[in-house]
Amino acid sequence: MKYELDLFGVLVPSLLLWSVLAYVLARIISKLVARAGLYRHVWHAALFDFAIYVCLVGSLVLASKEFFS
Give the domain range for residue 16: 4-67
The torsion angles phi and psi of 7, rounded to 5 degrees, stand at -115, 95
pLDDT digits (tens, 9 = 90+) for 16-61: 989 999 999 999 999 999 999 999 999 999 999 999 999 999 999 9
What's the domain count of the chain? Answer: 1
The whole-number pLDDT of residue 68 equals 67
Task: List CB contacts of 60: < 8 A, sequence separation 6 or more.
Answer: 18, 21, 22
21/27 Cα distance (integer angstroms): 10
Burial, 11: exposed, middle or buried (Cβ in 10 Å; 0-12, 13-18, 19+)? exposed
CA distance 57 to 18: 6
